[in-house]
Amino acid sequence: MNPPKIIKIANKKLIGISIQTSLSKNSTLALWQQFKPLINNVKNRSNTDFYSIQVYENDLDLRKFTPKTTFEKWAAIEVENFENIPDNLTKFNLSGGLYAIFIHKGKPEEFHNTAAYIYGEWIPNSKYTLDNRPHFEILSENYNPNDPNTEEEVWIPIKT
């Protein structure tokens, strides 16, 4: 796997829907199936990307993360402002800061290999540590979870 890009971003305005889930009780597919039809009414979308966001507890130690660990999962899009947000969508302020961006190539069920590299190899051997902000993936409008060549950007919050 290639080394990540390190980028500092500003806060982003997102809207979407969320659920509480875990890896063992993964409801991500149902979340996206519910979310996608809701975005047709959004008039102030910033771009065509989709955000898949994970919000972990403040005191979460990823070394103790298990398939039963619960977290908040969001399906979202970026908007220019929070005006005229449809009633069935919720605002989400994504905190800016320093992020390491990795590329995951392959189906979602192969993501554990990318995660093992990020959390088991790259972070422990880098000058960075995890920061307590949301982790997220950016999916293009053409993202296809059934395509073995599909790619997604994996954004990991870091600090020095």
What are the tens digits of pLDDT across the range 120-149?
A: 899 999 999 999 899 999 998 888 878 888
Q: Is the pLDDT at 61 greater than 80, yes or no?
A: no
CATH for 135: 3.20.80.10
| For residues 80-85, average pLDDT | 93
pLDDT of res. 75: 96
Instruction: Give the integer Cα–Cα distance in Å for 75 and 53.
Output: 7
pLDDT of res. 48: 93
Instruction: Give the integer Cα–Cα distance in Å for 58 and 48.
Output: 30
Q: Is the pLDDT at 94 greater than 90, yes or no?
A: yes
* Structural domain count of the chain: 1
Residues spanned by the domain of 136: 5-159
Strand partners, 93: 13
Q: Is the pLDDT at 10 greater than 90, yes or no?
A: yes
pLDDT of res. 103: 94
Q: What's the one-letter identity of residue 67?
A: P
The encoded tokens of residue 33 equal 């199936």
pTM for this model (two decimals):
0.90
Asked which of 75-79, 110-114, 119-123 is least confident by mean pLDDT, the reply is 110-114
